[in-house]
């Protein structure tokens, strides 16, 4: 192919597609730029760069649990109209299925599934993020999608033996998933919060208290109370008050479920996705 780099540059300028995509298309078309352009358009890659410049604030969160484990994905697009189309919803489901099965591990692996829909719908579409909780012994994985696919959550719980398959754990999972979706915790437990974040919070509260004229000797204790109530209870799942009554800590719900089963139940991890967040 004569002067291949010049042809690739020409094709990139016409389409906005990536270097390797242009190179492959030119190879496939024996160096004919117009034929390569057609190939890229059919693959939904032409004008990709122009589409990428357009903001993708819409999309859907998809969750799926099967024998392979659980998955949560966020697929982004430009308009809510496209996000509500059957084709887009089918794409979200397909990518969630692949993630749960372990055959999709990152956004790059979804390009072949997404490209035809970009060509059909004329909008930029991307797999923004994904997470998988692989099936394990003594583990229960649950999922919940809320608000028309705008928010979703995935949870993994440890319950020894047959307890992981019990109705008690399944019911607890549903309740905590509602908690995660509604109250948006950032961390599972307070020990996971980075020390620098807590130090910054303490610094802010202490400065406010000083400006309010609080005695220096009392500030430390007041700050600890504020961190417990205004940070840990707001952002740590186990410290949050239950969505059920706003009085019972989530940790107490888990403890009660363990007592009912006669063995401990533990939330090991969770993921929460919100479109555009």
Write down the pLDDT at residue 88.
Answer: 95
Interatomic CA distance for residues 71 and 96, integer angstroms: 6
pLDDT digits (tens, 9 = 90+) for 155-180: 999 998 888 889 999 999 999 999 99
User: Does position 52 have pLDDT exceeding 70, yes or no?
Assistant: no
Interatomic CA distance for residues 22 and 37, integer angstroms: 8
58-135: in CATH 3.30.70.380: no
Q: Indicate the average pLDDT of the chain.
A: 88
The full set of domain ranges for the chain reads: 4-52, 58-135
Interatomic CA distance for residues 158 and 136, integer angstroms: 9
List b or e across 172-185, with b for residues whose CB sees 16 or more CB atoms inside 10 angstroms. Answer: bbebbbbbbbebbb
User: Does position 2 have pLDDT exceeding 70, yes or no?
Assistant: no
More confident residue, 88 or 47: 88
Write down the pLDDT at residue 8.
Answer: 83
List b or e across 215-228, with b for residues whose CB sees 16 or more CB atoms inside 10 angstroms. Answer: eeeebeebbeebbe
Q: How confident is the model at residue 46 (pLDDT cuts 50, 70, 90)?
A: low
Residue 10 · residue 26 · CB < 8 Å: no
pTM, entire model: 0.77
Least confident of 46-50, 78-82, 86-90, 255-259: 46-50
Residue 199 · residue 170 · CB < 8 Å: no
pLDDT digits (tens, 9 = 90+) for 71-106: 999 999 999 999 999 999 999 999 999 999 999 999
More confident residue, 18 or 268: 268
Residue 150 · residue 87 · CB < 8 Å: no
Average pLDDT score over residue span 10-30: 81
Q: How confident is the model at residue 44 (pLDDT cuts 50, 70, 90)?
A: low
Interatomic CA distance for residues 124 and 56, integer angstroms: 7
Q: Name every residue whose Cβ is closer than 8 Å to that of residue 3 and which is 6 or more positions away in sequence.
A: none
Kindly report the CATH class assigned to 4-52: mainly alpha
User: Does position 47 have pLDDT exceeding 70, yes or no?
Assistant: no
pLDDT digits (tens, 9 = 90+) for 166-220: 999 999 999 999 999 999 999 999 999 999 999 988 988 888 888 889 899 898 8
Write down the pLDDT at residue 1.
Answer: 46
Q: What share of the chain has pLDDT > 90, as a percent?
A: 55
């Amino acid at each position: 192919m004569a002067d291949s780099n010049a042809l690739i540059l020409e094709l990139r300028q016409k389409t906005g597609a990536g270097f390797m995509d242009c190179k492959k298309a030119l190879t496939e078309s024996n160096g004919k730029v117009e034929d390569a352009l057609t190939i890229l358009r059919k693959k939904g890659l032409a004008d990709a760069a122009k589409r990428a410049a357009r903001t993708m604030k819409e999309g859907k969160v998809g969750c799926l649990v099967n024998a392979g484990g659980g998955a949560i994905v966020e697929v982004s697009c430009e308009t809510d109209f496209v996000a509500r189309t059957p084709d887009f919803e089918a794409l979200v489901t397909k990518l969630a299925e692949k993630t749960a099965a372990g055959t999709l591990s990152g956004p790059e692996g979804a390009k072949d599934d997404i490209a035809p829909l970009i060509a059909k719908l004329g909008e930029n579409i991307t797999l923004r993020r994904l997470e998988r909780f692989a099936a394990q012994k003594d583990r229960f994985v649950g999922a919940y999608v809320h608000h028309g696919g705008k928010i979703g959550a995935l949870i993994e719980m440890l319950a020894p033996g047959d307890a992981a398959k019990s109705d008690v754990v399944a019911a607890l999972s549903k309740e905590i998933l509602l908690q995660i979706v509604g109250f948006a915790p950032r961390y599972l437990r307070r020990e996971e919060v980075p020390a620098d974040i807590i130090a910054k919070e303490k610094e802010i509260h202490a400065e406010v208290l000083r400006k309010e004229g609080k005695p220096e000797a009392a500030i430390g204790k007041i700050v600890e109370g504020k961190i417990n109530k205004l940070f840990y209870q707001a952002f740590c799942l186990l410290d949050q008050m239950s969505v059920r009554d706003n009085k019972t800590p989530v940790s107490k719900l888990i403890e009660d479920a363990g007592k009912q089963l006669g063995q401990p139940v533990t939330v090991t991890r969770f993921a929460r996705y919100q479109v555009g967040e």
